[in-house]
Structure 1
Amino acid sequence: MNAGDLLSLAEQACVDAAKLLRELPVDVALKGTFDQVSTADLEVEAFLRQALTGGAPGSAVVGEELGAEHAKITWYVDPIDGTRNFVRGIPLSCISVAAAVDGELVAGCVLDPFRDELFAAAEGVFTVRSGGLTIPPGTSPRPVVLTDIPLPGSPYSGEMEVLGELMALADVRRIYSTALSLAWVAAGRADAAANLGIHPWDIAAGAVLVRSAGGTFRHIGTNGFVAGRGEIVDWLTERLEGIVK
């Protein structure tokens, strides 16, 4: 299967998963001091695993809730990125799926079920399909940056200082959905996104989206990233690299 075929499979799986999501009851449990999992997370991931590996026999899945396996074709799945928002009815969460071939990310899609928006990219082509109101992104005198820094329980010192400095340079938004943040950067709604304490399934699809839309995606240490366009990307990279050393 080529990248386009993998993207088509991922898109259809996300669309079908969103339909399932609307029908599921939601019960919530803690899976860590600062993290939650819902029954919807588990059922949507199970559905995505079956749809993706069924459509691409021999492929494997790295998922947030149900474990990780690798193969020539590996899917990175976050069934609900932004669970803490989702379970409270705050419309800032998404379904995120990416495909890697021989370890290289080649396709990704992020579906926002609240706004019926699908962000998709493969082979350097980025598209947005929306079932709701869309407003072309404009520009502003100050860059817009999406970040959740500092996360509760973060092991890094200095994050509050960086956040304070950043707020003097940019308009900062905290939405607590990394995949959705990256999709919005790719779409030009924000200039940059950055987080620490992330996992591969949080960023895989978003990295494909940003790069395919002409932006930069940089890994910071083993569990951070900076993505976007413009001078603010270099500033964030320097400051966050200083934190994780």
Structure 2
Amino acid sequence: MSDAALSARYDFAVSLAQQAGAVAMRHFRRSDGLRIIEKGPQDLVTAADHAIDALIRNAIQSRFPDDGILTEESGGDISAQVWVVDPIDGTGNFARGIAGFAISIAFSLNGDTRIGVVFDPVVEELFVARRGHGAFCNGERMRVSTTATMGRAAVEAGYSRRTSSSDYLALMARLLDAGCECVQFGSAARGLAQVAAGRIDGYVEAHLFAWDVLAGLLLVEEAGGYADPFPLEGNGQKGLPVRACTRGLARQLQEAMNGASDRLDKMS
């Protein structure tokens, strides 16, 4: 694919994320209520998720009819050039009127994420990255923090019910014992954007899907951080562990995720 074709898709993704954000805000904290469906325990979908999914899918099919599409709400399949989308990442927060959600749009070419856009419409922060071109928030270049020790790190440890509570609590214990400050904001896409912006130092979670993380992982990489590979295979709906952080924390966070019994180094 030519550089011009990628540039066109980048500009399109930025505009589309902002349009999706406007739809989200029309539904957010509506006085007449919001239609909410339970897909499972603590797994919600709203009318806004479906409206944004339709907006994004229709726009891509109209502008780039040969591109594949994979979204959380309507599925799809992996192809050589494919859009991977979460209409609202952090639906649990969104449905409760909590300002902690984002629109996530990624474009992958031959299994390599080339474009990543995460938009937080509440605070109007637009996080964007293109492979090899850096990562930016509202036009300002982002860099991950310089934190290299667990005793100085703030790490988001994401959780879903696809992970056992005992495994999650054990991970939290290892992080806390190693000296981390742990947070949990409820949106992987938004959390990864915070890592890229240098506001927190790492994000870990035992099981996430491509639509949750592809855009955010590219943000972290292009901001100079470390991110585990997240290969797109089959229909793209296989979940994997995720670790994204400063390069100085990569080994230590891997040990925590692996359940290493030895106490992690805590350098002053």
With normalisation by structure 2, the TM-score equals: 0.81
1:241 matches 2:244: no
CA displacement 1:41-86 (0-9 Å, x = unmatched)? 0110110111123222211111000111233320010000000000
Q: For 1:117 and 1:82, how far apart are their aligned partners in 2?
A: 16
Aligned to 1:180: 190
Structure 2 unaligned blocks of 5 or more:
231-237, 261-268
Q: For 2:91 and 2:124, how far apart are their aligned partners in 1?
A: 17
State the 1:102 CA deviation. Answer: 1.7
Counting aligned pairs with the same residue, the percent is 29
1:212 matches 2:222: yes
SS of the residue 1:158 aligns to = helix
Aligned length: 237
CA contact (8 A) 2:81 2:110 kept: yes
1:120 matches 2:137: no
CA contact (8 A) 1:34 1:153 kept: no
Q: For 1:10 and 1:242, how far apart are their aligned partners in 2?
A: 38
- Structure 1 runs (4+) deviating above 4 angstroms are 136-141, 219-222
SS of the residue 1:152 aligns to = coil
Change (3 A) 1:152 1:57: closer
Aligned to 2:176: 167
Change (3 A) 1:219 1:242: farther
Q: 115-124 or 215-224, which moves further after superposition? A: 215-224
Aligned residue type for 2:5:
N
SS of the residue 2:185 aligns to = coil
Aligned to 2:264: none
Could you say what the CA RMSD is over the residues aligned between the two structures, in angstroms? 2.4
State the 1:156 CA deviation. Answer: 7.2
State the 1:157 CA deviation. Answer: 4.6
Alignment of 1:32-111 (within 5 A): 32-111=40-119
CA contact (8 A) 2:171 2:259 kept: no
Change (3 A) 1:219 1:122: closer
Aligned to 1:23: 26
1:158 matches 2:167: yes
Aligned residue type for 2:251:
D
Q: For 1:74 and 1:212, how far apart are their aligned partners in 2?
A: 20
CA contact (8 A) 1:4 1:123 kept: no
Aligned residue type for 1:144:
A
Change (3 A) 1:20 1:202: same
With normalisation by structure 1, the TM-score equals: 0.88
Q: 12-21 or 140-149, which moves further after superposition? A: 140-149
